[in-house]
Amino acid sequence: SDSFALKVIQNSKEVLSLLQEKNPAFKPVLAVIQAGEDNLMQEINQKLAEEAGLNITHICLPADSSEDEIIDEILKINEDSRVHGLALQISETSFSSKILHALKPEKDVDGVTDVNLGKLVRGDAHDCFVSPVARAVIELLEKSGVNLDGRKILVIGAHGSLEATLQCLFQRKGSMTMSSQWKAPQLQSKLHEADVVIFGSPKPEEVPLSWIQQGTAVLNCSHDFLSGKWLQIGCQATENNRSNWSSLWVQQNMVGSGRRWLREQQYRRWKLHCLKLQPLSPVPSDIEISRAQTPKAVDVLAKEIGLLEDEIEIYGRSKAKVRLSLLERLKDQADGKYVLVAGITPTPLGEGKSTVTIGLVQAMTAHLNVNSFACLRQPSQGPTFGVKGGAAGGGYAQVIPMEEFNLHLTGDIHAITAANNLLAAAIDTRILHENTQTDKALYNRLVPSVNGIREFSKIQLARLKKLGINKTDPSALTEDEMRKFARLDIDPATITWQRVLDTNDRFLRKITLGRGTQRKAQFDIAVASEIMAVLALTDSLKDMKERLGRMVVASDKNGQPVTADDLGVTGALTVLMKDAIKPNLMQTLEGTPVFVHAGPFANIAHGNSSVLADKIALKLVGEEGFVVTEAGFGADIGMEKFFNIKCRASGLVPNVVVLVATVRALKMHGGGPSVTAGVPLKKEYTEENLQLVADGCCNLKKQIQIAQLFGVPVVVALNVFKTDTRAEIDLVCELAKQAGAFDAVPCYHWSVGGKGSVDLAWAVSEAAHKGSRFQFLYDVQLPIVEKIRTIAQAVYGARDIELSSEAQSKIDRYTEQGFGNLPICMAKTHLSLSHQPDKKGVPKDFILPITDVRASIGAGFIYPLVGTMSTMPGLPTRPCFYDIDLDTETEQVQGLF
């Protein structure tokens, strides 16, 4: 018996060792819910778990625990992704159907749920958990030399799953089985017939052993057996010195559970139920298309793409947040291919990068059966209610429900607004109190005595350390140290931190703060907040907290930077942002997954969705899958910042650039008339004009060359409009390939959905397998001026740069403060390669003026201003809100886009 037990343990260890070769951190965890004190079983389980290399946790409940109390514990274990198996050590009478239904079959290592029993009866024993007690009974009988083939087996006093499992296992061994309860009138005659007798519950005293024939094998598998009390073979009572055999099989089941769990974490093709499209012609409005499709419940989508129940937080029916714990669970998983969608220099109408992104993933997943994820920015309410409208894609390639995508989503922008304005309030409040209090009064209020105890908070201790004061007792500081600690001495003229709100309001561009002591300030739109840029570039909660703390809000009167950490507000900012850091899961019109997360201002910040969304998506799609993310504005802005800023922060290497072009934009670059939002297009754009197209392809060629500077293959996606002719389409694709594009493909997703971008999906897949020779444009250790010059000359095509005196002094200050080794985030117009919006095509021989230079130290970049940059848009004469309404009967949003 002992040698067999050692063999079982050794087998478990070997299997576990093989699993851990590819997953070193993996260790299966067994949870045991135990009602009543049974120290012996705890010791047996603990010892065996240690021998086999498993972790075990005991949840000990009182013996008289109610059904609901036991179920509460079961439900907690069900949702705990760290636990791979659950065993119940409760009395037979406690195994109610309600408790059995609460158990997750995939964690039921006792093999008591209907799913596991059903699979066993059906013959799928390899795909289910079998009762460890029943397996131990079979093993004990066979190891004792009992031949089961053709024998009559009598199971007495067993109930439910144990009785059913014993009958099934004995029948597989060729035995004839009978069942009986202890009080059955035919019990004596059945005992006389039996070759083997199994006690499923303790034998009553009124049943004499003389009823059992000599030579009959008798085995007790009741709770007495589990507790190690006795075993009988051939009616000779013997001590069961290896009474933990059932525990051995629990360990075997646990290893099987762990193996299955790991298999489920590995790359696999999603079994995704894609939603069917029925495109109409003419194509209806975006909101009509969105509303005509019924999205899947987001928890169903989450399960389809491999998310566990405890890894999502559901917001309503069609959106959810994904927890960052997923990255730890899938850390050994290979990443998928990484695709960036950028564009040529656009018209003010935009050329459909979001639409191409959505069309591409719909094509890949719904039509080519390839795992793919789209990662998009969250739109600001400013443009939504202003002039641009929604940003969920368009036509039959969009994120649904579009009204939820465009309005509030899960409150991330509101969280950023709250955090940003808390920091702004902290700055002005600190200046006020420092101006109106003595050093001593200020210090005493900053470090008060509470219930007779006076101590520094955690963030105050960090400030002391920064000041070089190695003391932890508030009363031990000298007067000079108290003054240093208490006074930030902010110079109001250097404050760079502004208040924000997510509404276009030009009247808040310049404001006056305060009544007594006044200062000039302004409001920015919320997505221009540095906190939004921090959210987009962070890779963990810890990293986000550190970045928030590093944010520089002003300089002190000695020219030293003042940070959020100095103001003591970092912890509070992190609390406000703790949910916003989790990416938002939504879906496309064809039911494929989308992450919508972060929306940094594409001029002032880097204009890309979050690093975290990309990282999580790359794990979820698996090695053969694709993550398609979008960069803001033209390739000269969004793509350059994606490579030089986002890729530095994430460490991710892009495989392909999809460069979006339209015939409309190319005609504009070829000398066509100006394009203005809200004004009908001139005939040059609605009628065939090959010369304008050919002339305008200079901009396309330049943007292809910019991507090639980074060593990434380019696929041109021509977003086709109904007015484009076949000759124009063919000309663009031919010229794009001549300019060095890997391929150039016309796309029709707007009118027919993913089916219209299948050719693009094939081209992207081929380019991705070609291999990327990715490289950064510049070394961050170069001086700030040289990095700016490199971007201006290599990317924009400028002859040189020209720094204003203010820009030069800011560069000198940031270099002196130790921020010179940060990447550059150029803030310039997106409507031209140059700084002049009306200069189309490929401007040459121009000097790029740098009017100012600012720093986002928490986000981790320096941003030079090229010309005048507004961080607070204004509303037009007729904003979009004129058309937006709510049907008060159906609660449907109308006129959004």
pLDDT at 225: 40
pLDDT at 241: 35
CATH code given to domain 335-387+584-770: 3.40.50.300
pLDDT at 242: 35
Q: What is the mean pLDDT of residues 201-206?
A: 83
3-class SS of residue 530: helix
- b (16+ CB within 10 A) / e for 230-247: ebbbeeeeeebebbbbbb
**Cα 525 to chain center, whole Å?**
26
Is the separation of the CB atoms in 237 and 212 below 8 Å?
no
pLDDT in tens, 266-325: 667 898 999 999 999 999 988 889 889 999 999 999 999 999 888 999 999 999 999 999
Tell me which of 380-394, 719-733, 838-852 is least confident. 380-394
CATH code given to domain 1-257: 3.40.50.10860
Q: What is the mean pLDDT of residues 193-214?
A: 85
pLDDT in tens, 546-602: 999 999 999 999 999 999 999 999 999 999 999 999 999 999 999 999 999 998 887
pLDDT in tens, 32-45: 888 877 666 666 66
Pairing mode, if any, of strands 312-315 and 593-596? unpaired
Could you tell me the two tokens for 229? 């009390």
Q: What is the dihedral of CA 718, 724, 730, 735, to 10 degrees?
A: -60
Amino acid code (one letter) for 298: V
pLDDT at 265: 62
CA atoms within 13 A on the CB side of 34: 17
- Residue 718: which H helix or E strand, with range? strand 714-719
Residue 654 confidence class, pLDDT cut points 50, 70, 90: very high
Is the separation of the CB atoms in 398 and 592 below 8 Å?
no
**What is residue 791's DSSP assignment?**
I
C-alpha dist (Å) from residue 738 to 49, 654, 715: 65, 23, 12
For the chain, the structural domain boundaries read 1-257, 335-387+584-770, 413-577, 784-865
3-class SS of residue 759: helix
Whether pLDDT at 390 is above 60: no
pLDDT at 224: 45
DSSP string, 276-321: P----SS---HHHHHHHS-PPPHHHHHHHTT--GGGEEEETTTEEE
pLDDT at 406: 84
Residues near 683 by beta carbon (within 8 Å), at least 6 away in sequence: none
Residues near 277 by beta carbon (within 8 Å), at least 6 away in sequence: 293, 396, 589, 590, 752, 753, 754, 755
Report the first-to-last Cα separation within the chain, whole angstroms: 74
C-alpha dist (Å) from residue 561 to 404, 496, 860: 40, 11, 15
Residues near 591 by beta carbon (within 8 Å), at least 6 away in sequence: 272, 273, 274, 275, 295, 296, 301, 366
3-class SS of residue 175: coil
Tell me which of 479-483, 585-589, 719-723, 880-884 is least confident. 880-884
pLDDT at 379: 86
Burial class (CB in 10 A: 0-12, 13-18, 19+), 433: middle
pLDDT in tens, 602-623: 777 898 999 999 999 999 999 9
3-class SS of residue 755: helix
Whether pLDDT at 464 is above 60: yes
**What is residue 602's DSSP assignment?**
T
Task: Tell me whether the CATH fold assigned to 335-387+584-770 matches the one assigned to 413-577.
Answer: no
Whether pLDDT at 50 is above 90: no
C-alpha dist (Å) from residue 345 to 529, 638, 841: 25, 11, 8
- Percentage of the chain lying above the pLDDT 90 cut: 58
Q: What is the mean pLDDT of residues 323-348?
A: 93
- Residue 213: which H helix or E strand, with range? none
Q: Indicate the length of the chain as a whole number.
A: 897
Helix, strand, coil shares of the chain, percent, nearest 5, are 45, 15, 40
User: Could you count the other beta carbons within 10 Å of the beta carbon of residue 155?
Assistant: 23
Residue-averaged pLDDT of the chain: 88
CA dist 751 and 144 (Å) reads 74
pLDDT at 250: 72
Whether pLDDT at 230 is above 50: no
Q: Rounded to a whole number, what is the largest CA-CA distance in the chain?
A: 111
Residues near 497 by beta carbon (within 8 Å), at least 6 away in sequence: 420, 423, 424, 427, 530, 551, 553, 554
Of 428, 371, 305, nearest in space to 623 by CA: 371
CA dist 509 and 515 (Å) reads 19
Most confidently predicted of 206-210, 238-242, 305-309, 849-853: 849-853
**Cα 529 to chain center, whole Å?**
22
pLDDT at 48: 65
Pairing mode, if any, of strands 593-596 and 372-376? parallel
pLDDT at 15: 72
Tell me which of 271-285, 375-389, 572-586, 685-699 is least confident. 375-389
Burial class (CB in 10 A: 0-12, 13-18, 19+), 214: exposed
pLDDT at 240: 41
pLDDT in tens, 76-135: 888 887 788 888 888 766 778 888 889 988 888 888 889 988 988 888 877 888 888 888
Residue 24: cis peptide before it, omega within 30 degrees of 0:
no
CA dist 282 and 249 (Å) reads 65
C-alpha dist (Å) from residue 231 to 55, 141, 241: 29, 11, 9
pLDDT in tens, 731-767: 999 999 999 999 999 999 999 999 999 999 999 999 9
pLDDT at 408: 87
Is the separation of the CB atoms in 190 and 212 below 8 Å?
no
Q: What is the mean pLDDT of residues 155-176?
A: 89
As a whole number of Å, the CA-based R_g of the chain is 34
CA atoms within 13 A on the CB side of 752: 11
Q: Please tell me which residue, 5 or 167, carries the higher pLDDT value.
A: 167
CA dist 751 and 351 (Å) reads 15
3-class SS of residue 68: helix
Residue whose structure tokens are 């850390």: 331
Catalytic positions, please? Answer: 353, 355, 377, 388, 602, 633, 721, 750
Could you tell me the two tokens for 778? 């510049």
Is the separation of the CB atoms in 657 and 340 below 8 Å?
yes
Is the separation of the CB atoms in 609 and 375 below 8 Å?
yes
pLDDT in tens, 847-873: 999 999 999 999 999 999 997 778 777
CATH class of 784-865: alpha beta
pLDDT at 227: 39
Q: What is the mean pLDDT of residues 646-659?
A: 97
- Percentage of the chain lying above the pLDDT 70 cut: 92
Tell me which of 243-257, 424-438, 521-535, 627-641 is least confident. 243-257
Residue 593: cis peptide before it, omega within 30 degrees of 0:
no
CATH code given to domain 413-577: 3.30.1510.10
Tell me which of 148-152, 308-312, 390-394 is least confident. 390-394
